[in-house]
Structure 1
Amino acid sequence: MNRFALLSLYRSLTRHRLYSVLNIGGLAVGIAVFLVLGLYVRFETSFERWLPNHQQIYLVQTDWIGIDSPFVGTWPNTMGGLIEQMKGDYPGLVGTRIEGGEGGGSVTHGGIATLEDIAQVDADFFKIFDLPMVSGDKARALADPSAAVLSQSIAHKYFGDVDPIGQTLTITIDKPMTYRVTGVFKDLPKNTDLRFGILTRIPVVNPEDWWFHWGSTSVTTFLRFPTPAAAKAFEQKLPGFVDHHGFKDLGAHASRKIALPLLPFTQEHLKPAGQASASLELTVVTLGLVGLLTLLIAIVNYVNLTTARAGLRAREVAMRKVLGADRGTLLRQFMGEAVLTAALATLVGLIIAELSLPFVNAAGGLSLSIPYAQALPALVGLALVIGALAGIYPALLLARFPAAQVLASARAPGGGRAGTRTREMLVVLQFSLAIAFIVGTLVVVAQMRHVRSTDLGFRREGLLVVSSLNYGDLDTGRQTALIDAFRQLPGVIAVATADSSAGGFGNNNMNNVDIDGKPKPGPSLRKIVIGSDFFRVYRPRLLAGRLFDDAHRMDDANTPKTSEPRNIVINRTAALKLGFPSPQQAVGKTVWSSGTRTIIGVVDDLRFFSPRLPSDPTYYVAYRGLAPYPVATLRFSGDPRSILAAVRAVWLRMAPQAPLIANTGEHELAKFYEDDDHAAHLFAIGAGLAVLIGCVGLWGLASFNTQRRVKEIGIRKTLGASSADIVRLLVGQFLRPVLIANLIAWPLAFFAMRTWLAGFDDRIALSPLFFIGASVLAIGIAVLTVLGQSLRASRATPAWAMRHE
């Protein structure tokens, strides 16, 4: 492009400043949204790719199939002894296990225990996970069972500037032990799901222990293969391996109940764990599409405004042709202008993206940043692509104007009916996507409000969950003393223990419950073991029968064995699962699960887990006093911070050797909503800006077309049209494509939102009000967008309008 062409571009931009700002601004906002959401997609898809030889690492999953259990689905854990059995059958196999991780243990320093991310691994860990080391011999770092390998930050936390190699730490996982530091690795990056700052060895376990029980899921197991073909060949051998080793626990044809699929390590982050998690893969794809579609809206906006303004440059094109420019020269000039305009918009978009990242990170719970070393070449390519896509049609339109016809005409060509139809089609496309985005935003916001306010079967306010009673060497006596001390605190109404609590803490035990006269095994129900006052703390609705009390000896599972059946309470879903038509008909019935049980009561469901999970059929077994493997829950009144401070003071006084893990029930339940909340915020930001770009384009188009019709408006007013008639005419013209856009937007939004809502067990109905509301909102925005231009045009006096060109 020569200097005359650059001068032409400069004059074009400065002569019509408003349209230039709208053109470049709309494109810049679209590019900014595309950049920010592109950074999000890049971050989420980069997990584990920092690790050397990451493509050779595979996660062994447990896939429950052909069983009646809420655990049906694919899970990222296996039984503890799986790798020993695999290495016994397949010598030379390279693999490791990871047990624990986030909050996996504590370090006692200065007499105070501090919770740390501690993982227990095998001696071969560094053969699979080649972590960058700061000091120590990676090959021998975990050879000694008493060795510990620390991250840089943990090493600095406990040893400061002193060389940590050879130093000792008191680490508590099951019990306090002294470990010697043998290595230090670099802190793990943010784009990893590995959560540990301290590595120790997995202890040797008796083969008869539950660790080797098929059906338990206590560790994550990783294998390393040189090629994908080798991994595939090994995976094909696993059904026979499962049948051979799983026979004792799962019976004949164990591979029909459980499978062990291999998942590439780099894909683990995007895959859901069973039914409990949102599919991050779907979220990433959705937000990536939002970014692409927003950019598409911006490009359409650019094309629309540029083609609308094409007539203003018709005489310029004609004069260039008269002076010798051929069609190819003009085409190159206008394509060059489009690329330069896109480059300018890309620069502005980059500035907007950089300025908005702090707010986006806050809204999405992220830590995104622009890697300029990689971003700048990509941005140059992006500007070229956008310029080419956005500029090709306007360039072709401008280059084909016939010189003689243009110069002989009294007015510049406007593209005729074909040009008008093309611009209307582009407006339809813009607003189809915008309306679909509005529908999506309304549905997402409504669903997240619903899951936060839905009835969980208990009041989430006024709960404090203490989940660290099983840490350290706290015996039953000290656990009981702590519970008694909590009960004496001001504001505490009741304290209960159980092996499960709000937020999903504790055990996940499922048992088959057999019913006389029905096929065995019976349905699988979740078993929750509770202590005294559990129902007083959670206060579920009693639907039939009674709750546990001290007056009935067989309510206590600790009662010495007799021929009498132990009593249980079941929830509403369990009653239906067991085949009872109503809660009342379940009371008094006898079932079998690890002994004979009598149902004494039916309560409403208590939803302790993710809103994406269906409510589990559950039965409760009671222990007077303290439940085994207890998680404590306090029901309190007053300020949560005061209660938490009081609990912390009691804990430091009575159990300083164990870390305190305590938080409100609301805080723990909120963790289930975090990922969806963050995705919803990003979606709403992208959707809102997409709608804004569409409105900016519509405003510019309305302004331009209204100016072109000033003389027509003057003639209409001379012939008797009122200002209201003119406004209706102009507004109606621009509303037509917006109304047509609903025919495209509604089906698109319906299928997209139905797919997203399917991930929630407890979900709102996809009401027509969302679609009608989005359409009304879009129409309202469109009317307000063009109304100002229409009113201004309608107020022009006929005499002035007739003289205007």
Structure 2
Amino acid sequence: MWRNYLTVGLRALAKNRTYAFINLFGLAIGLAACLLILLYVQYERSYDDWLPDAKRTYQLQVYYESKTNGDKFQNQGAPYVTKAALLKDFPQIESATYMGGPPLTLIKDGQATVVDDGRLVDSAFLDTIALPMAQGDSKALSRPGTVVMSESEAVRIFGTKNVVGRTVTLLTAGRKDDYRVTGVFRDIPKKSHLTGKMFARADFPSMFPEDNGYLTSWGWTSGWVYVKLRPGTDVATINGQFDAWEKRNIPDETFNGKKVNAGDERTFALVAAPDVHLGRATGSGMAPANDVQTIATFAVIALLILAMACINFTNLATARASQRAREVALRKVLGATRRQLMAQFLGESVLLATIAMLLALAVVEIALPWFGNFLDADLELHYFGHGGLILPMIGLVLLVGAAGGLYPAFYLSRFQPARVLKANKSASDAEGSGRLRSALVVIQFAVSIGLIICTAVIYAQNVYARSLDPGYKRAGLIQLAGVGSRILEPQADALTRAIAKVPGVESTGRTMIGVITGQTSNTGVVVPGREDPVDLGIYGVDAGFFPTMQIRTIAGRVFDERPADDMTTPVPEDPAAERALVARGGHIVINESGVKRLGFKTAQDAIGKTIRYGVRDEYGGMMNLTIIGVVADVRFRTVRAAIEPTMYLLDKHNVNWLVARFHGDPRTVRAGIEQVWRRYAPDLPFDATLADEIIARAYEKLDARAQMFGMFAILAVVIGCLGLFGLAAFTAERRTKEIGIRKVLGARTIDIARLLVWQFTRPVVIANIIAWPAAWWLMREFLNAFDARISLTPVPFIGASLLALAIAVLTIGAHAIRVARTNPVHALRYE
């Protein structure tokens, strides 16, 4: 029996090549898209599954929410002081480690290079995060002055993986020291929130003896804290105790005569290592993160495309009912039951899905390297073993076979032999089949129109984000990292003056905040007449910063060289100088958002006003800051982040970046700056990037998302048009006599073509009723994630609808004209 069914199914496909091609091609595209997205979703959800004891390894995250203005920030990092407090109060913790501090610089052959993802760690690092060691063990970092590196980093530095016992010279926190290599670990996979090619053992208390805030402040976050829980520990129990833990450990501070506690605005949580990548604090980690909504969106779109291919199968199968009606009737006359007929048609559907799956796998194998490179993911296709796709593929074949063949099986198997065989009548016009096909075409084109709208909106938002005025002149600006290094501090002024003399350089400035640097610093200030503190960003700059960035002055003035503006104090701290500065007071410049945050009506009203800023008690407790100028808001970060109400201080020691305004060839200017850098800082790596390049990198993910939606939209349109063409062909064939009669009665070719085109474009018009509201809701949510965004106008909706309609008319039009021009004699002759 099954052999007979297989033979009949193959013959049916061979007899109707157009039908077979449309179904196979459409299903193959849908299945290939579904498999590729399945691989991507599997990849994103398998982050850190390579890590031994991943389910017992947790990252301490801190969620900040201002009580005064509601600002929120979720941070994967945590203060250094939290590690000791966790170990003290939670015996369920087996080990804990801190990783952070300044970057590592490798000195080799007199040249300084930044170690990619080099990290400073404490002695418990390998006990807590069990990196797979190729050489050495978990005690490799038990002593200061030791280092472990990845196999690829060992080959890069030494040319071999066998490097245990060798020595590397590292520069960190202004100190140059030799470190002994005590272990080599296997390269950390790309699918990890944890990055690192070299981990150096540091003694943080001795490394930062004068930076008491780094070691003791609950508000200073410059690293990450990890813990490994003992087997059987319920992490929810620990997370539920963090409120009480904060009260026990975070000390009260006196601010403007009132007691405040940093814990009031912070919530702590332990997050399992595999959950960090798609977790709550996705924008503050070591590696680029993703979000659950994006993954879910792509998965849903892939399923929609697959559903469109199944709709094609259902539509074409019911449209071909006239060609199978006699077969069904004869089988029933010869004794076939409805269950046997349903099994036959479902078997044909599964056969078609199997052939399409084989074609889809060929497409996936070819497209996977490009697709993985496009998404910057190490995607691999395995059929068996852990993560193998053999079971999902079998499931997809059965699901697609059932989804595409279930209705046709019920529909075709219900034909009554007497009705079909009586007077040579066909049962293809059974009531309701035409309405169902129209409804399914509506769904197909609703998906297509919706994807086209989403693609247009995402692309428009991307263009807007790139072209939006950031508040400074981006063209002709180069940004240089590393000027805040302690080893460079004594020569920083001389370096800045030397770079300013490089041919092509017009001006220079130093700053603590630059173009998408990731730097965030804020503090509370007291405004006269208001009890609660007001949060402002606080960033040091020099006098050349505002002119170099070409930031517009709204009111007052910006910093110049007058001594009253300068709030720079010696490093290391000089208590006498600090107390003198607090007693004297300082000058600040604020931005327009700062004017609003502080409660002033206009920028001019803010000039000359004084606010109070908290400093350490031994230096005076509170310091008066006078506002001397207001500058335009500047978008230092991407358009996703809101512009921060900010105050700028003239503090030459509290800077990390140098910006230079130039004209001429960027490569020539950069080479000139590098020569100066090598002369003043031979032990520091040179890292200078054009502002335009920084912005381009920042929006790469948004570009990729727009392109992804574009590809999905194209696939959806192609599949929809395939189905539409097939339906048009079969319907025209079924209406051959009707068309002949219309021509005999005087209908013109254009009249008949218009009739056929309208029949199939009407569902496309109706599809807008579904597509528009769904796309509007999705894109509203998408745009709400941006601080600066385009308006959701009718243009992309109308444009997408007209494009889909034009594609549908072109798909059907040529075929309709060919059918309408057929000689009516051929249609009306006696069969």
TM-score normalised per structure 2: 0.91
Maintained 8 Å contact 1:32/1:349: yes
Q: CA deviation at 1:319?
A: 2.7
Q: Which residue of 630, 636, 641 corresponds with 1:602?
A: 630
Q: Which residue of 692, 701, 723 corresponds with 2:727?
A: 701
1:557 aligns with 2:567: yes
Maintained 8 Å contact 2:219/2:262: no
**Distance in 1 between residues matched to 2:356 and 2:465, nearest whole Å:** 40
- Residue of structure 2 in register with 1:217 after alignment: 221
Q: CA-to-partner distance for each residue in 1:504-562, whole Å, 9 max, x for gaps?
A: 25x422122222122232x2111121113111111112222222223x44222249748
Q: CA deviation at 1:10?
A: 1.9
Q: CA deviation at 1:17?
A: 0.8
- Residue of structure 2 in register with 1:232 after alignment: 236
**Distance in 1 between residues matched to 2:830 and 2:688, nearest whole Å:** 75
**Distance in 2 between residues matched to 1:235 and 1:435, nearest whole Å:** 45
Give SS of 1:395's match. Answer: helix
Q: CA-to-partner distance for each residue in 1:27-65, whole Å, 9 max, x for gaps?
A: 111111111111111111111111122111222111223
Give SS of 1:370's match. Answer: coil
Q: Which moved more, 1:596-605 or 1:65-74?
A: 65-74
Q: CA deviation at 1:3?
A: 3.0
Q: CA-to-partner distance for each residue in 1:152-206, whole Å, 9 max, x for gaps?
A: 1112222323731111111122121111111111111111121111112231426
Q: 1:75–1:640: structure 2 CA closer, same or farther, 3 Å change rule? A: same
1:336 aligns with 2:347: yes
Q: CA-to-partner distance for each residue in 1:67-116, whole Å, 9 max, x for gaps?
A: 33686232111111111122223346234334349x92111111111211
- Residue of structure 2 in register with 1:198 after alignment: 198
Give SS of 2:113's match. Answer: strand
**Distance in 2 between residues matched to 1:650 and 1:356, nearest whole Å:** 47
- Residue of structure 1 in register with 2:181 after alignment: 181
**Distance in 2 between residues matched to 1:777 and 1:340, nearest whole Å:** 35
Maintained 8 Å contact 1:549/1:555: yes
Give SS of 2:389's match. Answer: helix
Computed over aligned residues only, the root mean square deviation of the Cα atoms, in angstroms, reads: 2.4
Q: Which residue of 758, 770, 786 corresponds with 2:796?
A: 770
Q: CA deviation at 1:575?
A: 0.8
1:593 aligns with 2:613: yes
- Residue of structure 2 in register with 1:266 after alignment: 274
Q: Which residue of 516, 540, 545 corresponds with 1:503?
A: 516
**Distance in 1 between residues matched to 2:738 and 2:656, nearest whole Å:** 82
Q: 1:133–1:279: structure 2 CA closer, same or farther, 3 Å change rule? A: closer
**Distance in 1 between residues matched to 2:202 and 2:321, nearest whole Å:** 73
Maintained 8 Å contact 2:191/2:377: no
- Residue of structure 2 in register with 1:442 after alignment: 456
**Distance in 1 between residues matched to 2:490 and 2:477, nearest whole Å:** 24
**Distance in 1 between residues matched to 2:289 and 2:184, nearest whole Å:** 35
**Distance in 1 between residues matched to 2:639 and 2:659, nearest whole Å:** 20
Q: CA deviation at 1:136?
A: 1.0
Q: CA deviation at 1:706?
A: 1.4
Q: Write the letter of the residue equivalent to 1:247.
A: P
Q: CA deviation at 1:573?
A: 0.7
Give SS of 2:104's match. Answer: strand
Structure 2 counterparts to residues 93-172 of structure 1, below 5 A:
93-100=93-100, 104-116=103-115, 117-138=117-138, 140-161=139-160, 163-172=162-171
Maintained 8 Å contact 2:62/2:74: yes
Give SS of 1:241's match. Answer: helix
**Distance in 2 between residues matched to 1:25 and 1:333, nearest whole Å:** 22
- Residue of structure 2 in register with 1:481 after alignment: 494
- Residue of structure 1 in register with 2:574 after alignment: none
Q: Write the letter of the residue equivalent to 1:555.
A: D
**Distance in 2 between residues matched to 1:82 and 1:51, nearest whole Å:** 24
1:685 aligns with 2:711: yes
**Distance in 2 between residues matched to 1:637 and 1:804, nearest whole Å:** 84
Maintained 8 Å contact 2:105/2:170: yes
1:470 aligns with 2:484: yes
Residue correspondences, number: 797
Give SS of 2:300's match. Answer: helix
Maintained 8 Å contact 2:282/2:290: no
Q: Write the letter of the residue equivalent to 1:105.
A: L
**Distance in 2 between residues matched to 1:577 and 1:562, nearest whole Å:** 24
**Distance in 2 between residues matched to 1:798 and 1:457, nearest whole Å:** 71
**Distance in 2 between residues matched to 1:804 and 1:563, nearest whole Å:** 110
- Residue of structure 2 in register with 1:370 after alignment: 381
Q: 1:134–1:672: structure 2 CA closer, same or farther, 3 Å change rule? A: same
- Residue of structure 1 in register with 2:436 after alignment: 422
Q: CA deviation at 1:564?
A: 5.5
Mind listing any 5+ residue stretches in structure 1 that lack a counterpart? none
- Residue of structure 1 in register with 2:598 after alignment: 578
- Residue of structure 1 in register with 2:325 after alignment: 314
Q: 1:499–1:387: structure 2 CA closer, same or farther, 3 Å change rule? A: same
Q: 1:265–1:52: structure 2 CA closer, same or farther, 3 Å change rule? A: same
Q: CA deviation at 1:419?
A: 0.7
**Distance in 2 between residues matched to 1:17 and 1:390, nearest whole Å:** 18
Q: Write the letter of the residue equivalent to 1:511.
A: T
Q: Write the letter of the residue equivalent to 2:278.
A: L
Q: CA-to-partner distance for each residue in 1:393-448, whole Å, 9 max, x for gaps?
A: 11222222222332234353324331101111111111121111111111111111
1:515 aligns with 2:527: yes
**Distance in 2 between residues matched to 1:46 and 1:503, nearest whole Å:** 29
Q: Write the letter of the residue equivalent to 1:779.
A: L
Give 4+ residue runs of structure 1 displaced > 6 Å after superposition: 274-278
Give SS of 1:496's match. Answer: strand
Q: Write the letter of the residue equivalent to 2:34.
A: F
**Distance in 1 between residues matched to 2:124 and 2:809, nearest whole Å:** 67
Q: 1:126–1:804: structure 2 CA closer, same or farther, 3 Å change rule? A: farther
Q: CA deviation at 1:365?
A: 3.5
Q: Write the letter of the residue equivalent to 2:526.
A: D
Q: CA deviation at 1:643?
A: 2.4
Q: 1:493–1:253: structure 2 CA closer, same or farther, 3 Å change rule? A: closer
Q: Which residue of 655, 658, 667 corresponds with 1:632?
A: 658
**Distance in 1 between residues matched to 2:731 and 2:321, nearest whole Å:** 12
Maintained 8 Å contact 1:491/1:643: yes
Maintained 8 Å contact 2:483/2:489: no
**Distance in 2 between residues matched to 1:753 and 1:226, nearest whole Å:** 45
**Distance in 1 between residues matched to 2:424 and 2:200, nearest whole Å:** 86
Q: 1:622–1:249: structure 2 CA closer, same or farther, 3 Å change rule? A: same
Q: CA-to-partner distance for each residue in 1:697-719, whole Å, 9 max, x for gaps?
A: 11111111112112111212222
**Distance in 2 between residues matched to 1:169 and 1:640, nearest whole Å:** 34
Maintained 8 Å contact 2:740/2:827: yes
